[in-house]
Amino acid sequence: GKKMRTYLVTGGAGFIGSNYIHYMFETYGQDIHIINVDALTYAGNPENLKAVENYPNYTFIKEDIRNKEAVLEIFKKYDIDRVVHFAAESHVDRSILNPEVFVSTNVLGTLNLLTAAKTAWETEGGYKEGKRYLQVSTDEVYGSLEDGDTYFYETTPLDPHSPYSASKASADMLVKAYMDTFQFPANITRCSNNYGPFQFPEKLIPLMINNCLKGEKLPVYGDGKNVRDWLYVKDHAKAIDLVMEKGRLFEVYNVGGHNEKQNLEIISLMIETLQELLPEEDSRRAHINEGLIKFVADRKGHDRRYAIAPDKIRDEIGWEPETSFKDGIRLTIKWYLENNGWMERITSGEYQNYYKEMYR
């Protein structure tokens, strides 16, 4: 019979990676084999994959992509057809506190994967049939926009400002170098801010949900009017799959849905939706209101506005977001309310130290 297609997913125990793995099994069932390579840093949580961990066509490998030999070994052991590279240090505030690990994981880790895939896939005349690599990048590599109606296009020059976005831009440049120098079969996607289930509560939306439920202050950086372009994580997962299957090789595709919101708008919507979804008798309702908002010092180098022009992926591939913001936020808040234990387990321990360093 036909060989089962094998995916190497890196960082699959994190927020977007785990949502992508769930999406892929829902979409392809038994027809694919997914190998998830994840170092399980503070951001990696095997609990995110509990529903699939016993699937015969799912393999978990606890490994650090900074370990070059180990990455080469994985490509020797398995005949990998697709690489979807999520693994990264992903939080801007942490990159301001401790930039070094962002360079080692995001830049050198990416180089290790590129080298291993190239070595495994190379033939005399080019590359083995049907092999593809996808770099999961971010709109932050384009820098920052003024308030108004300008957008990031695939042709917008890279202009990163934070150590995080500089490391992601560097990784993108290495992928470009492999495409340009070696015709390495790759694509890059650059997505806007994601939200949804399994997002770690260092990021705006789950942090605000968690703090509301705990009756803690809601820390707003600066004037709260910075703009982010929000996309439901499942829509991102689908975009990645479609670019892999239908995208033109060597192309960059922006991913976003023209859903720009100021941070304060997001926080108000969270408060409103929590009030709506919590049962009448829930005692937490009483303290969830705008009075929790607390303006704090601005993030250093805080990018003002991100906004993606998604014309290319829509026109060439036919991708469009399927989840409205209102529905996505309801789904997300419902998920956090139903998975209180998940939040409790990840916020006990080390998270407390991070939170104190950041917000006290």
Chain residues in the site for ligand TDX (CB under 6 A): 90-92, 138, 140, 193, 203-204, 207, 219-221, 226, 228, 263, 299
Considering beta carbons, is residue 240 or 288 the nearer one to ligand NAD? 240
Q: What's the rounded Cα separation, in Å, for the pair 326 and 273?
A: 9
Among the listed residues 200, 306, 319, 355, the single contact to ligand NAD using CB under 6 A:
200
Supply the DSSP symbol for 156: S
DSSP 304-330: -B--B--HHHHHHH-----S-HHHHHH
Query: How remote is the C-alpha of 345 from its chain's centroid?
Result: 21
CA distance 181 to 173: 12
Residue 136 site contact among ligand NAD, ligand TDX, none (CB < 5 to 8 Å, cut-off depends on kind) = ligand NAD
From ligand NAD, ligand TDX, none, interface partner of 228 (C-beta below 5 to 8 A by class) = ligand TDX
Residue span binding ligand NAD (CB under 6 A) among the ranges 62-70, 116-124, 172-180, 244-252:
62-70
Task: Name which of ligand TDX, ligand NAD, none residue 221 binds, using a CB cut-off of 5 to 8 Å depending on partner kind.
Answer: ligand TDX
Q: In the bound complex, what is the minimum distance in angstroms from residue 55's beta carbon to ligand NAD?
A: 18
Report the nearest approach of ligand NAD to the CB of residue 10 (Å): 6
Alpha carbon distance 238, 189 (integer Å): 12
43 is a site residue for ligand NAD (CB under 6 A): yes
Please identify, using beta-carbon distances, which residue of 217 and 299 lies nearer to ligand NAD: 299
List 109, 197, 247, 321, residue binding ligand NAD (CB under 6 A)? 109
Shortest CB 66 distance to ligand TDX, Å:
19
* Three-state SS sequence of 127-177: ECCCCEEEEEEEHHHHCCECCCCCCECCCCCCCCCCHHHHHHHHHHHHHHH
For residue 59, what are the β-bridge partners? 35
Pairing of strands 260-262, 227-232: antiparallel
CA 291 – CA 273 distance, rounded (Å): 16
11 binds, among ligand TDX, ligand NAD, none (CB under 5 to 8 A by kind): ligand NAD
Query: Rounded to the nearest whole angstrom, what is the least distance from the CB of residue 309 to ligand NAD in the complex?
Result: 15
User: For 148, left (φ over 0), alpha (ψ -120 to 50), or beta?
Assistant: left
Piece of 14-22, 125-133, 242-250, 294-302 that binds ligand NAD (CB under 6 A) = 14-22
Rounded Cα distance between 153 and 145, Å, is: 12
113-172 positions binding ligand NAD, by CB under 6 A: 136, 138, 168
Rounded to the nearest whole angstrom, what is the least distance from the CB of residue 91 to ligand TDX in the complex? Answer: 5
- In angstroms, rounded to a whole number, what is the distance separating the alpha carbons of residues 200 and 14? 8
263 binds, among ligand TDX, ligand NAD, none (CB under 5 to 8 A by kind): ligand TDX
Q: DSSP label at 2? A: P
The DSSP output letter for 162 is S
Q: Tokens 């998604």, residue? A: 310
Residues lying near ligand NAD in the complex (CB under 6 A) are found at: 10-11, 13-17, 38-41, 43-44, 64-66, 86-90, 105, 109, 136, 138, 168, 191, 193-194, 200
